[in-house]
Amino acid sequence: MGRLFGTDGVRGVANADLTAELALGLSVAAAHVLAEAGTFEGHKPVAVVGRDPRASGEFLEAAVVAGLASAGVDVLRVGVLPTPAVAYLTGALGADLGVMLSASHNPMPDNGIKFFARGGHKLADELEDRIESVYDEHRTGAPWDRPTGAGVGRVREYDEGFDQYVAHLIAVLPNRLDGLKIVLDEAHGAAARVSPEAFARAGAEVITIGAQPDGLNINDGCGSTHLDLIKAAVLDHGADLGIAHDGDADRCLAVDHQGNEVDGDQILAVLALALREADRLRKNTVVGTVMSNLGFKLAMEREGIDLVQTGVGDRYVLESMKEHGYALGGEQSGHVIILDHATTGDGTLTGLMLAARIAATGRSLAELSAVMERLPQVLINVRDVDRSRVESSTELSAAVAEAEAELGTTGRVLLRPSGTEPVVRVMVEAADIDHARSVASRLADVVKSALG
């Protein structure tokens, strides 16, 4: 069996790849593995379980809850809340485990399972590997050791989670947002209630779009993967800025008052300067990934801020931050981690902090984000190819080397299999957009021929 866990939990088409049986089995396996690791020692374990509004989340949540309770874990069901809210509540409530049902920015038919360890941190790779191994052992016949009687887990609704999370967001803001008019695009997702409430409590005038989830419309033409709606809304309402989330609100992209996109790299640049000014940018360092725009790297060099780059995936950004004690990190996609206040990417928190910087300085988002100039960057997702052969293909290696030689020091090439989708990503940066497109297109053709 291929590895179930990707860079961000287990994902697939709900009821096809990700079935109720798989969700139940993985939940039981997680309970047993964490028990083996001593996480539950001396007490009855407790898990926090939340989901985004996808229709499939209803039956998958039921399966996860059933699996955990059957393994002797008490369950607090927090309902529809963002992924970072589930992570926060896992830590704040002293729970032993957190589970989020979401496929983030993926289309509605997909869903996923993310596990959080005690404290609200993503599980280590070795624990995920062990969960998968234990699940596979029992899937092929070995019976589970099941508690009975009073040993089974109890399940209850935990409705207080909404207010607890919003109160936390407001408490960590450095200043209020009075006087700002902000458009929020909630992607018909998990933050449809939380984000507008938090921004309004912080003092902003809030206009919402994409905030009517019906279980079927998540990420559908809206949110951080489709910015046309929020760009138009910002201009129509004369707003100071727009904030767009994805389905589970662990990421945030922005739009300035002129309708221009402000991506994760630019947001990181703005927040890095804000934290340094407040003497909270530990070790004068921000963490990005190998996908960070070259313009971001150049801006940090100019501002005298060190940049550490990791592999793609917010889990790797977080690992570097925790290992070295850094305060800020993130990805171009809008996953931003502010480690003093969150254990994972938090789109609502990021948006609030960005808006707070605008309110505090009196400068527009366009002015603030001009700290960096984005070099033209072309990304092509090549589908229906064998991702496992990216590293071993000599044809592909030769094509990449030729492209790098052509670009020289004015650009770069990055080619990698996605950890969350069945695609190979081809990214090319160059001083000229047409040159970047030409090189990216050639490389995408080679990927298709070499790996198809």
Binding residue ranges for Mg(2+): 104, 246, 248, 250
In the beta sheet, which residues pair with residue 340?
none
- Strands across the sheet containing 9-13: 5-6, 9-13, 110-117, 97-101, 46-51, 74-80, 155-157
Please tell me the distance from the alpha carbon of residue 125 to that of residue 117, in angstroms, as a whole number. 12
Active-site residue, selected from the candidate residues 104, 292, 320, 369 = 104
**3-class DSSP assignment, residue 417:** strand
Does residue 441 have an active-site annotation? no
C-alpha count within 13 angstroms, C-beta hemisphere, residue 233: 23
Which residues does the annotation place in the binding site?
A: 104, 246, 248, 250
Question: Length of the chain in residues, anyone?
Answer: 452
Residue 382, both tokens: 């090549």
Name the residue among 183, 182, 9 with its Cα closest to residue 103: 9
| C-alpha to C-alpha distances, 184 to 207, 253, 315, nearest whole angstrom | 6, 10, 26
Name the residue among 262, 258, 204 with its Cα closest to residue 232: 258
| C-alpha to C-alpha distances, 441 to 108, 311, 356, 380, 450, nearest whole angstrom | 29, 23, 40, 8, 14
Q: Give 175's contacts (C-beta < 8 A, 6+ positions apart).
A: 356, 359, 360
Cα four-point dihedral sign 127, 131, 137, 143 = positive
Please tell me the distance from the alpha carbon of residue 433 to that of residue 425, in angstroms, as a whole number. 18
The amino acid sitting at 417 is: P
Please tell me the distance from the alpha carbon of residue 227 to that of residue 144, in angstroms, as a whole number. 47
Using the CB atoms, write b or e for 142-172: b if 16+ within 10 Å: eeeeeeeeeeebebeebeebbeebbebbbee
| C-alpha to C-alpha distances, 365 to 96, 111, 142, 202, 242, nearest whole angstrom | 40, 34, 58, 18, 10
Q: Strand runs (DSSP E) across 170-278, as ranges?
A: 181-185, 205-209, 241-245, 252-256, 261-262
Active site residues: 104
